[in-house]
Amino acid sequence: MIQPCPYGTHRVLAPKGTLPQAAEKLDNAMPMQENELLIDVETLNVDSASFHQIMGACGNDPAQMAQMILEIVAKRGKLQNPVTGSGGMLLGTVKAVGSKFPGIVKPGDRIATLVSLSLTPLLIRSIKAIHMDNDQVDVDAEAILFSTGIYAKIPSDLDQKVVMAALDVAGAPAQVHRLVKPGSSVLILGASGKSGVLCAYQAKLDAGPEGNVIGVVNDLSQLPDLEMLHACDEIIVADAKDPMDVYHKVLAANGGKKVDLTVNVVNVANTEMASILPTKDDGIVYFFSMATSFSRAALGAEGVASGATMMIGNGFTAGHAEFTISLIRKSPELYRLFRKRYGGKQPV
């Protein structure tokens, strides 16, 4: 008999010896083990890079997207996009708690998982709806959380889908808070997206009136939401896949100087150099995007003799769930924006 492992290796079917995230296939049919949590899943919040890759591959057809998602899960026992490698997170209700599962949680608790769907055993019975505008998929499904998996209980006074959307990217604004100093110049690539608005808002709080937060969006239609937040001192419309255009526009918006910190939260590939070029040699580039190629980033930085420190955003920062929920609570503007984009039908 396989002993339950806190990291979930007991559910790895292939290749043997790998951890669940790196595995090609997980056992999503095994009965719940003593160190696991069984969840009735209501909604999948799919990683933006993954959702848009599936959308493009299916020609924006929800029926084809549903079929592709079902096929991925049937083949892999988890929702891990084979192209992007990423997953997302889920919202659901605790169905059963293993006798050796840590923490204080009970059946009936509403939770959002804070680990990737790319390592979460998932069994989908049906897909009820695909929300094309917010990367969410309503399902009838069950999932397993390992004893090392982290989760957050959904506050009863906030829209649960708003909370799920915010928690999906909670690591980003929490990390930005660690990196931004008063007076910092900060560049946000993908500033109008879910993680982008949170990062821009937090960056402005930390940089203060002497700082300079520059947001990059790729379409004029994205301006109103960002302008409403008053999170960016400057907003640039540019294609992040065009590094020289971004570079010149950022320098123009920052008094001819490179920035202290660049945060990349875009959901498309080939934006590494637009992040590196405008960043000071003693600055930091924080790649939170799952569309990032770290070989392109490393070799690209070498090619332009950039000494900037490059960080991988892994989605976890200590206390990130509480931090981001607090940010949403403190800002009526942020909450209204998330409610408009991602909210369910619960009363505000």
Could you report the per-residue pLDDT of 176-200, keeping only the tens digit for each?
999 999 999 999 999 999 999 999 9
SS (H, E, C) 87-144: CEEEEEEEEEECCCCCCCCCCCCEEEECCCHHHCCEEEEEEEEEECCCCEEEEEEEEE
For 208: left if phi > 0, alpha if psi spans -120 to 50, otherwise beta; the answer is left
Give the mean model confidence (pLDDT) for residues 44-58.
94
Whether 308 and 103 have beta carbons less than 8 Å apart is answered as no
Return the structure tokens found at 179: 């990196």
Return the structure tokens found at 121: 């055993």
Could you report the per-residue pLDDT of 102-136, keeping only the tens digit for each?
989 999 999 999 999 999 999 999 999 999 988 99
Could you report the per-residue pLDDT of 243-268, keeping only the tens digit for each?
999 999 999 999 999 999 999 999 89
Under the banding of pLDDT at 50, 70 and 90, the label for residue 2 is low
pLDDT at 348 over 60: no
171-312 in CATH: which number? 3.90.180.10
Give the mean model confidence (pLDDT) for residues 129-156.
95
Whether 301 and 276 have beta carbons less than 8 Å apart is answered as yes
pLDDT at 173 over 50: yes
**Amino acid residing at 315:** G
| pLDDT confidence of residue 318 | 84
Local structure of 326: helix, strand or coil: helix
Window from 2-6, 14-18, 121-125, 221-225 with minimum mean pLDDT: 2-6
pLDDT at 346 over 50: no
pLDDT at 93 over 90: yes
Give the mean model confidence (pLDDT) for residues 23-51.
96
Query: Which H or E element spans position 37?
Result: strand 36-46
Give the mean model confidence (pLDDT) for residues 17-36.
96
Residue 103: other Cβ atoms inside 10 A = 9
Residues ≥6 apart with Cβ < 8 Å to 241: 268, 269, 270, 271, 274
pLDDT at 9 over 50: yes
Could you report the per-residue pLDDT of 283-336, keeping only the tens digit for each?
999 999 888 998 999 999 999 999 999 999 888 888 999 999 999 999 999 999
Residue 304, CA distances (Å) to 69, 90, 107, 244, 274 in order? 40, 40, 54, 12, 12
| pLDDT confidence of residue 343 | 86
Q: Where in the chain is the domain with CATH 3.90.180.10?
A: 171-312
Return the structure tokens found at 61: 């057809």
pLDDT at 39 over 90: yes
Percent of the chain with pLDDT over 90: 90
Under the banding of pLDDT at 50, 70 and 90, the label for residue 347 is very low
| pLDDT confidence of residue 345 | 45
Could you report the per-residue pLDDT of 200-212, keeping only the tens digit for each?
999 999 999 999 9
